[in-house]
Structure 1
């Protein structure tokens, strides 16, 4: 008995300590089986009504009417007040305590009325059958609720006492020894049922707690699986689910849904310059800003690498443009990391539902195509999807995919265009020209595939192969003939460029002085300090450098004093006008004279007519190059040409 009292005390404190979600489940168990409640209410109230009518006792009849009324209310509560789904919503919400209180009030009223009816039957009638019906019905009800309501033990125990103890009192006041003995049995029954109820509650509580913990753990893992670990925003999986849900909700609405596909500009440079920790900090900072701005009303997700997506509802195209500008401004804000300010930009592709598509796959593809066009237009741009983009961009993407294995498949080859002395009789060097013949698309123009290689970062391994192959080919030529190779801006800034050059020279046994590397003026505009350091490193290897296409773009004479060039290449646009434009003649002459005073050689490219060549001979240019003299040719033809020169030279000697 003392153990039971101790457990009742523990129950009083532990019931307040259980989690709210567990409590909601336990309260919900009261309504888990409405059929048993309905059967018990109907049978017990029916029996009590019959007993009351047979006895003819007014108080018993009134009590039976009260029992039937409360039974009806409880049945109505169990099966008919609200639809089952709404009732579950109530139990899962803030009204759990109120619902439990209502259930408790009805249960205690009903069990108390049964107990009182049994007491009245024992006191007011002497019919053994009526007393048997009242007592057995009440005790049966008490036994049933001990198991049915064990999830809320205080309700079960209260019902047990309210129904059973009045019977014990009625039996005792009769002073019949047998009835007193039955009263003692009922009291012991109550004690036993209380113990059983508490044990059942312990099992139910443990099972419910474990189930809730497992459900919470499953929800946590599901949330983690849909969250980007680095930035905390939605990952690709969650984005797809949420995006499709938004699209379904958009059906038939007047509003639009925009997807802004974001790619960070120059993010790779942050990683290469400051390390991956800096890159991670930058990604997290950008994601945090985007989520603060759009996460409450839209979707913000990291789709992988340095790509993000923002989905918002808008009323028109202007609103989508405003969102795009806001995104660019947010991304361009500096991120602080390790005492540095990290800066990147953003390129955006925008697709609008349902204008540009109604399903997720179509919209994502179109937003990606728009992003590709935006990046192709320059950094910090945003571009809306247009149907005409598909063909051009799909070809560019196809070529980018084909380029991935082109080097290994041997699809690249080199052509060489000779550069002659001013007389046009002796080959001084040959410019290396990269060509690509794809297995599916055939010959691809360098003007088309070089930008693709630069965008995908493939220009570095391809450019390294070009340097090695050019050095190997030139090593078979006469020692006085040099080889010229064009460098991409990305190659020039590559940290391993000096190692690539030294390896190519060593493996081919080509003298460093015979290798010339050409860069254009655009290289010098991006990062003057880095470009100057790279050119100095090349010159320290005794490799010569050439400023290509001089006179175009943002030409500045300061280049000639800052950067260590040995050769200037005069752009073909000036050469083409030599016959008609005195100004072009004056410019070419000025450049040649200036280069001579600075100790630099000059090469005029793009010579296509004899008149152009004659005019250049009057300017004392050092070397000439163009279709008039020789078109690009394979290495075998260069070797034949050089061998012919050697034969002629030997004959003249």
Structure 2
């Protein structure tokens, strides 16, 4: 029999202790009366034993149910011993009184007590048929035997009646037991089904971790159980590059990656931790700790584990993760604000770069408010023409002539003054406003570039969101057509991070524009993975060496060697190499000797408004013409 069903049936034995107390009390009273009325030493002795058994039985019936650690089988045996002893003493004392041919009234009282007890207890304990039948027989068989030994007709009829009552009651016991068992089994089946449905409702099918509903339930319970002096840490994880894996390799591989992440979280997180897939590629790990340094160590272990490559179906997959951490009660006093704090910390971890861990700090709230304010005002600035396009020249290092201008956006806020690009561009990226902003920059810059000489190009930076926006390539071509600018004069600068998250959309975008004549430059080369495969796969005609190799604090022999290596690749592939961040004549000479063909930086000019860009070009043309005439 199923353990839980057995336990339920055994519980019915102890379900109503009041009935046990009443039955034992009646037995004590009947035995005491018999002993007093007959004053027979044997009867008195039996009555004393009966009373003792009754008190022990009452004690067991009241105490045993409170022992939570006592299994059902032991409780059943304990009940069985007490029940059989009490039933046997009830029948025995009645049998002895009949056998000794004592006072008729006492005989009647004891026989009635034995019969009523046997029949009544049989119905009460039908949940355990062995006990019910045993009590019935032990209470009635001694009486039946005594009546038959008495030999007279009334006693024989009494014995016959009691004897026939036994099979009748056994039949009733079996019927009651069958009905009771079916009811309990049905209830257990319903409970198990409900438990299973509840588990399914709270479990993520891909990772077998808790889902959001399960997480809420477990965290609520965990919050109640957390000891007062300990802290509850929430690690909110977001996988990096998962969308790229999911889109390029398919959802089946994506699901395998998620399942792999779940296994690594189970292996790395504390044993008692609550682990859940919050949704998409986000996971939650919650655990108790009283040491912030321990929380940081666990988070770092988790991050290290998740960044190790995955090998799935012949594919080597590399992803990372960003982790935001909030701690209760340090960062919040309740669950909802704690989750908000962890989410905010995750946001900052992603803003600061991938594979980062960020602990929540109150300043993050102020920063979030500021970012939302900037986002709202930026959208208004686009409508109010508060933004301007500035142009920084890109110069031929041999002739000194301007070959192109890079378009850079400037925002002159009516109240805050000039807003630096690093203050509002990241906000535009995160909010999605960069798409509208980028399209506006391209359109405005194209109008200005259309007025320049035809040998001067326009360089525009592109955001990943712009590239992936529906109709992005068509929008750029329309802007060029409206401005009257030849597509061959537009050069779009794409950073390595765009290619790192490459998908078919990026390739299609570049192919469509390249076919129309637009050129591409690989921007900030050397700051990311710097994969040479990008140069082979995509139609780049220019490489821009990041300023950190030219004017950064780590400039030296290694950076010069890197620049030379890049220029040699560029020369072989017939690409121009642009050195960014040139500020001194020594830097200009150094990169020119290293093989760079173009330069950009404050040494030549800061970014200037469109009219000054036109003036720079006009002055350059005048100088060239003067030199030609003089020669």
Partner in structure 2 of residue 636 of structure 1: none
**CA displacement, residues 27-49 of structure 1 (integer Å, 9 cap, x when unaligned):** 01100000011001101221122
Partner in structure 1 of residue 609 of structure 2: 627
The alignment status of 1:78 with 2:61, answered yes or no, reads yes
Question: For residues 326 and 211 of structure 1, what CA distance do their matches in structure 2 show?
Answer: 46
Correspondence for 2:548 among 533, 538, 553: 553
Question: For residues 463 and 406 of structure 1, what CA distance do their matches in structure 2 show?
Answer: 8
Question: For residues 390 and 309 of structure 2, what CA distance do their matches in structure 1 show?
Answer: 47
The alignment status of 1:501 with 2:511, answered yes or no, reads no
Question: For residues 494 and 479 of structure 2, what CA distance do their matches in structure 1 show?
Answer: 27
Correspondence for 1:379 among 348, 354, 359: 354
Tell me the secondary structure at the aligned position of residue 231 of structure 1. coil
Alignment of 1:117-136 (within 5 A): 117-136=93-112
The alignment status of 1:27 with 2:19, answered yes or no, reads no
Per the alignment, do residues 172 and 562 of structure 1 end up closer, same or farther by CA in structure 2, a change over 3 Å counting? farther
Using the TM superposition, name which of 241-250 and 189-198 deviates more. 241-250
Tell me the secondary structure at the aligned position of residue 379 of structure 1. coil
Question: For residues 520 and 421 of structure 1, what CA distance do their matches in structure 2 show?
Answer: 16
Q: CA deviation at 1:368?
A: 2.5
The alignment status of 1:211 with 2:187, answered yes or no, reads yes
Per the alignment, do residues 534 and 542 of structure 1 end up closer, same or farther by CA in structure 2, a change over 3 Å counting? same
**CA displacement, residues 89-116 of structure 1 (integer Å, 9 cap, x when unaligned):** 245xxx2211111100110111111111
Per the alignment, do residues 211 and 442 of structure 1 end up closer, same or farther by CA in structure 2, a change over 3 Å counting? farther
Correspondence for 1:294 among 244, 253, 269: 269
Question: For residues 512 and 26 of structure 1, what CA distance do their matches in structure 2 show?
Answer: 89
The alignment status of 1:259 with 2:211, answered yes or no, reads no
Partner in structure 1 of residue 202 of structure 2: 226
Q: CA deviation at 1:236?
A: 2.8
Q: Kindly indicate whether the alpha-carbon contact (under 8 Å) linking 2:390 and 2:409 is maintained by their aligned counterparts in 1.
A: no
Tell me the secondary structure at the aligned position of residue 271 of structure 1. helix
**CA displacement, residues 177-233 of structure 1 (integer Å, 9 cap, x when unaligned):** 232122212112112111111111111111111111222222222222222222112
Partner in structure 1 of residue 462 of structure 2: 488
**CA displacement, residues 585-614 of structure 1 (integer Å, 9 cap, x when unaligned):** 6468779x964xxxxxx696779xxxx67x
Question: For residues 347 and 316 of structure 1, what CA distance do their matches in structure 2 show?
Answer: 21
The alignment status of 1:364 with 2:364, answered yes or no, reads no
Structure 2: segments with no counterpart, 5+ residues: 396-401, 525-543, 550-562, 615-631
Per the alignment, do residues 302 and 227 of structure 1 end up closer, same or farther by CA in structure 2, a change over 3 Å counting? same
The alignment status of 1:268 with 2:263, answered yes or no, reads no
**CA displacement, residues 360-400 of structure 1 (integer Å, 9 cap, x when unaligned):** 23332332333222222222222223333331134336767
Q: CA deviation at 1:311?
A: 2.6
The alignment status of 1:190 with 2:193, answered yes or no, reads no
Question: For residues 563 and 50 of structure 1, what CA distance do their matches in structure 2 show?
Answer: 118
Q: CA deviation at 1:522?
A: 5.2
Partner in structure 2 of residue 58 of structure 1: 41
Per the alignment, do residues 414 and 356 of structure 1 end up closer, same or farther by CA in structure 2, a change over 3 Å counting? closer
Using the TM superposition, name which of 182-191 and 550-559 deviates more. 550-559
Alignment of 1:153-552 (within 5 A): 153-253=129-229, 255-294=230-269, 296-396=271-371, 415-417=388-390, 446-455=421-430, 459=434, 462=436, 465-466=439-440, 484=458, 486-488=460-462, 490=464, 500-502=472-474, 505=477, 513=487, 516-519=490-493, 538-546=513-521, 550=544, 552=547
Tell me the secondary structure at the aligned position of residue 557 of structure 1. helix
Q: Kindly indicate whether the alpha-carbon contact (under 8 Å) linking 2:209 and 2:262 is maintained by their aligned counterparts in 1.
A: yes
Question: For residues 191 and 475 of structure 1, what CA distance do their matches in structure 2 show?
Answer: 109
Question: For residues 512 and 186 of structure 1, what CA distance do their matches in structure 2 show?
Answer: 115
Q: Kindly indicate whether the alpha-carbon contact (under 8 Å) linking 1:45 and 1:71 is maintained by their aligned counterparts in 2.
A: yes
Partner in structure 2 of residue 47 of structure 1: 30
Question: For residues 321 and 508 of structure 2, what CA distance do their matches in structure 1 show?
Answer: 28
The alignment status of 1:582 with 2:582, answered yes or no, reads no
Question: For residues 249 and 528 of structure 1, what CA distance do their matches in structure 2 show?
Answer: 46
Per the alignment, do residues 195 and 406 of structure 1 end up closer, same or farther by CA in structure 2, a change over 3 Å counting? farther
Q: CA deviation at 1:240?
A: 3.4
Partner in structure 2 of residue 644 of structure 1: none
Using the TM superposition, name which of 309-318 and 125-134 deviates more. 309-318
Question: For residues 344 and 272 of structure 2, what CA distance do their matches in structure 1 show?
Answer: 25
TM-score under structure 2 normalisation?
0.77
Q: Kindly indicate whether the alpha-carbon contact (under 8 Å) linking 1:415 and 1:432 is maintained by their aligned counterparts in 2.
A: no
Using the TM superposition, name which of 100-109 and 530-539 deviates more. 530-539
Alignment of 1:73-152 (within 5 A): 73-79=56-62, 81=63, 86-87=66-67, 89-90=68-69, 95-152=71-128
Using the TM superposition, name which of 125-134 and 104-113 deviates more. 125-134
Question: For residues 467 and 415 of structure 1, what CA distance do their matches in structure 2 show?
Answer: 9
Q: Kindly indicate whether the alpha-carbon contact (under 8 Å) linking 1:122 and 1:170 is maintained by their aligned counterparts in 2.
A: yes
Q: Kindly indicate whether the alpha-carbon contact (under 8 Å) linking 2:488 and 2:517 is maintained by their aligned counterparts in 1.
A: no
Per the alignment, do residues 264 and 508 of structure 1 end up closer, same or farther by CA in structure 2, a change over 3 Å counting? same
Question: For residues 161 and 127 of structure 2, what CA distance do their matches in structure 1 show?
Answer: 26
Partner in structure 2 of residue 15 of structure 1: none
**CA displacement, residues 342-377 of structure 1 (integer Å, 9 cap, x when unaligned):** 211122222333333343233323323332222222
Q: Kindly indicate whether the alpha-carbon contact (under 8 Å) linking 1:482 and 1:516 is maintained by their aligned counterparts in 2.
A: no
Question: For residues 366 and 333 of structure 1, what CA distance do their matches in structure 2 show?
Answer: 28
Per the alignment, do residues 201 and 471 of structure 1 end up closer, same or farther by CA in structure 2, a change over 3 Å counting? farther
How many pairs were matched up?
572
Q: Kindly indicate whether the alpha-carbon contact (under 8 Å) linking 1:349 and 1:367 is maintained by their aligned counterparts in 2.
A: yes
Q: Kindly indicate whether the alpha-carbon contact (under 8 Å) linking 1:539 and 1:564 is maintained by their aligned counterparts in 2.
A: no
Question: For residues 339 and 136 of structure 1, what CA distance do their matches in structure 2 show?
Answer: 84
